[in-house]
């Protein structure tokens, strides 16, 4: 049975939307627990985005991992479908990816959707495949599973892509504190190619959910490969975060001369980020799980737990240190959400902020009648932007929740613009020129209804009715 659960007119229509902290224009599970986005792909024939996700069908905390399934035609409104891949005697179903096998390399049929996932059980983790001949709605597990095993404890989250240059599939997965690369002609037999990790990036946690994608560098014909590696714990503000490496991929080895650890989002609630396979028009669309393992199971929602981030498009630019950086924008679908200018701050809102560099910090604060507030600030001496949620509302559910997150501005401009998206319990701040993004959850006891600015200008928009 299909059920459209996200609508900008929600509340009056559906039970699913009546919870205080239920986001309205972000994907959430109808009920129970969700973590990582999995197997995301775009069906170009039917023009449908498919999103699977780590799901516990029985509780609002982690367990019984299953791939649940939602689809969307605009990345904003989502329809839930029956669970796609369920646990069996080989284990529960951990994270992974999906591809459309256009050339029928696996022999499951032309255009079969092939999911590559991790079986997890007490004895260890291994990779397996399942195929769908109905466009991704129902899957049959391959009888030759598992397709890839190893003698290490943490061996998971396979992400597969087609390599035009070698006419083969490539797979990257997380193996302890490194990633490993493999190749295959048919998605069933995998050959080890190389590993990457030692001596690079952050190692204060386990590496998880990697992805490898080629991205254009802005204002040039150049392209570079970006290796995304989620890590937990070890994030810049504690707990989970997404780091990345910019370099080269020769079909067998990833190399980089990057020396600094770089983070894809500078908030506390942006994890397990990976890209959509087969996105149209060479778009590079990513989605994150909008939470942090430090407190994900404690957040004060009732019927459901966790949401995804807004969809984002990524590319590369060169920053003021002459270093490649990941550029991040809200997807065009996000910018197309209908909005209306508003004099008050609404619970579903967009704020456009314009700032001119000055001698004093520029401050934007959001507050409610209960004295709860979020304070955002440009500090031009330090060339940083920060987000303070220490007094943002309900925050006592975890010691690690109250926090201040900071990013450097990446460029030395005179003018800056921000796009801020508020959806009840989430605030996503985007530098409007796509230099950085910052994603943080907040749980105000009443919606923030006032915006104050100092040294900058804010225009308020209401989202939905
Ligand atoms: C990341 C992760 C993955 C794993 C999944 C299990 O959040 O730990 O590494 O596959 O969650 O639910």
Spacing, Cα 197 to ligand 1 middle (Å): 19
- Please count the residues of the chain: 465
CA distances from 7 to 77, 305, 420 (A): 6, 18, 20
Helix %, strand %, coil % for the chain, to 5? 0, 50, 50
pLDDT value for 3: 44
Ligand 1 pocket test: pick from 39, 91, 94 the residue with the most ligand atoms within 8 Å of its Cβ: 94
pLDDT band at 17 (very low <50, low <70, confident <90, very high): low
- pLDDT value of residue 5: 43
Say how many Å lie between the CA of residue 242 and the centre of ligand 1: 13
* Closest alpha carbon to 85 in 106, 68, 61, 108: 68
pLDDT value of residue 7: 40
**Taking all residues of the chain, what is their mean pLDDT, rounded to a whole number?**
95
Give the distance (Å) from ligand 1 centre to CA of residue 36.
Answer: 6
Question: What's the 438 CA to ligand 1 centre distance in angstroms?
Answer: 22
Q: What integer pLDDT is reported at residue 429 of this predicted model? A: 99
Q: Is the pLDDT confidence value at 18 over 60?
A: yes
Band of the pLDDT at 122, cuts 50, 70, 90? confident
Rounded to a whole number of angstroms, the CA Rg of the chain reads 21
pLDDT at 9 over 70: no
Q: Is the pLDDT of residue 222 over 90?
A: yes
Atom of ligand 1 nearest to the CA of 271: 7
* pLDDT-above-70 percentage for the chain: 96
pLDDT, tens digit (0-9, with 9 covering 90-100), for 247-258: 999 999 999 999
Please say whether the dihedral angle defined by the alpha carbons of residues 259, 429, 448 and 37, taken in this order, is positive or negative: negative
Ligand 1, atom 9: closest residue by C-alpha: 208
From CA 432, how far away is CA 248, in angstroms rounded?
28
Marked catalytic residue, from 36, 101, 388, 423: 36
Q: Which residues line ligand 1 (CB under 6 A)?
A: 35-36, 54, 65, 94-95, 118, 156-157, 208-209, 272
Return the best residue to mutate from 32, 33, 53, 54 for the ligand 1 pocket (most ligand atoms within 8 A of CB): 54
CA dihedral 319, 389, 356, 358 (to 10 degrees): -100
Q: How far is the CA of 304 from the centre of ligand 1 (A)?
A: 18
Place of tokens 């254009």: 216
Q: What is the pLDDT of residue 465?
A: 64
Largest CA distance in the chain: 66
Dihedral Cα 92, 95, 100, 103, nearest 10 deg: -80
The tens digit of pLDDT for each residue in 74-111 reads 999 999 999 999 999 999 999 999 999 999 999 999 99
Give the contacts of 404 (CB within 8 A, at least 6 positions apart): 237, 386, 387, 388, 389, 390
The SS3 call for residue 16 is helix
pLDDT at 356: 97
298: CB partners within 8 A, 6+ apart: 397, 398
Distance 464 CA to ligand 1 centre (A): 33
Query: Which ligand 1 atom is the nearest neighbour of the CA of 54?
Result: 12
How far apart are alpha carbons 155 and 120 in whole angstroms? 9
Average pLDDT (327-353) is 97
pLDDT for 123 equals 81
Least confident of 10-19, 216-225, 419-428: 10-19
pLDDT of residue 435: 98
Nearest residue (CA) to ligand 1, atom 8: 208
Ligand 1 atom with the smallest distance to the CA of 118 is 10
HSE at residue 186, side-chain half, CA atoms within 13 A, is 9
Identify the bridge partners of residue 126 per DSSP, sorted by sequence position. Answer: 119
Q: Could you identify the residue written with the tokens 């500078």? A: 266
| Band of pLDDT at residue 1, cut at 50, 70 and 90 | very low
User: Rounded distance, CA 364 to CA 119, Å?
Assistant: 46
Q: Among 130, 140, 251, 147, which Cα is nearest to 189's? A: 147
At 464 the pLDDT is 84
Best of 29, 32, 33, 36 to mutate for ligand 1, by most ligand atoms within 8 A of CB?
36
Percent of the chain with pLDDT over 90: 95
Distance CA 409, CA 394 (A): 29
> Which residue among 65, 120, 157 has the greatest number of ligand 1 atoms within 8 angstroms of its CB, and so is best to mutate?
157
pLDDT digits (tens, 9 = 90+) for 136-171: 999 999 999 999 999 899 999 999 999 999 999 999
* Active-site annotation holds for 408: no
pLDDT band at 4 (very low <50, low <70, confident <90, very high): very low
pLDDT, tens digit (0-9, with 9 covering 90-100), for 30-47: 999 999 999 999 999 999
Q: Among 7-21, 132-146, 382-396, 441-455, which stretch is predicted with the lowest mean pLDDT?
A: 7-21
Dihedral, 24, 29, 33, 38 alpha carbons, nearest 10: -110
Residue 223 has pLDDT above 70, yes or no: yes
> Ligand 1 center to residue 320 CA distance, Å?
35
């Amino acid at each position: 049975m299909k059920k459209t659960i996200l609508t900008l007119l929600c509340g009056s229509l559906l039970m699913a939307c009546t919870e205080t902290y239920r986001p309205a224009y972000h994907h959430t599970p109808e009920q129970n627990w969700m973590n990582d986005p999995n197997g995301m792909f775009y069906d170009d024939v039917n023009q449908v985005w498919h999103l699977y996700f780590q799901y516990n069908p029985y509780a609002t905390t982690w367990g019984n991992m299953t791939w649940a399934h939602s689809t969307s035609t605009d990345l904003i409104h989502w329809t839930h479908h029956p669970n796609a891949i369920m646990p069996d005697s080989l284990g529960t179903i951990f994270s992974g990816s999906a591809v459309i096998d256009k050339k029928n390399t696996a022999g499951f049929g032309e255009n079969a959707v092939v999911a590559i996932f991790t079986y997890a059980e007490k004895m260890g983790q291994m990779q397996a495949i399942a195929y769908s001949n109905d466009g991704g709605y129902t899957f049959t597990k391959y009888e030759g599973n598992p397709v890839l095993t190893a003698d290490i404890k943490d061996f998971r989250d396979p992400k597969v892509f087609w390599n035009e240059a070698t006419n083969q599939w490539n797979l990257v997965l997380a193996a302890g504190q490194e990633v490993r690369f493999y190749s295959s002609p048919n998605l069933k037999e995998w050959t080890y190619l190389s590993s990457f990790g030692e001596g690079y990036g952050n190692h204060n946690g386990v590496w998880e959910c990697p992805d490898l994608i080629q991205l254009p560098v802005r204002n040039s014909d150049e392209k570079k490969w970006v290796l995304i590696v989620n890590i937990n714990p070890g994030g810049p503000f504690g707990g989970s975060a997404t780091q990345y490496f910019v370099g080269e991929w020769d079909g067998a080895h990833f190399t980089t001369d990057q020396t600094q650890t770089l983070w894809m989002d500078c908030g506390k609630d942006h994890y397990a980020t990976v890209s959509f396979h087969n996105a149209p028009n060479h778009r590079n669309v990513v989605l994150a799980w909008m939470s942090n393992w430090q407190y994900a199971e404690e957040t004060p929602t009732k019927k459901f737990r966790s949401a995804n981030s807004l969809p984002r498009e990524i590319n590369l630019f060169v920053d003021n240190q002459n270093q490649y950086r990941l550029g991040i924008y809200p997807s065009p679908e996000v910018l197309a959400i209908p909005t209306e200018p508003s004099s008050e701050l609404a619970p579903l809102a967009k704020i456009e902020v314009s700032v001119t560099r000055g001698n004093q910090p520029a401050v934007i604060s959001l507050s409610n009648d209960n004295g709860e507030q979020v304070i955002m600030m440009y500090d031009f001496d330090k060339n940083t932007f920060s987000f303070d949620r220490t007094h943002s509302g309900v925050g006592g559910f975890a010691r690690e929740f109250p926090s201040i997150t900071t990013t450097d501005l990446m460029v030395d401009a005179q003018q800056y613009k921000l796009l801020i998206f508020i959806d009840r319990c989430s605030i996503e701040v985007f530098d409007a020129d796509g230099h950085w993004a910052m994603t943080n959850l907040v749980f105000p006891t009443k919606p923030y209804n006032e915006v104050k600015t100092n040294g900058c200008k804010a225009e308020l928009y209401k989202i939905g009715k």
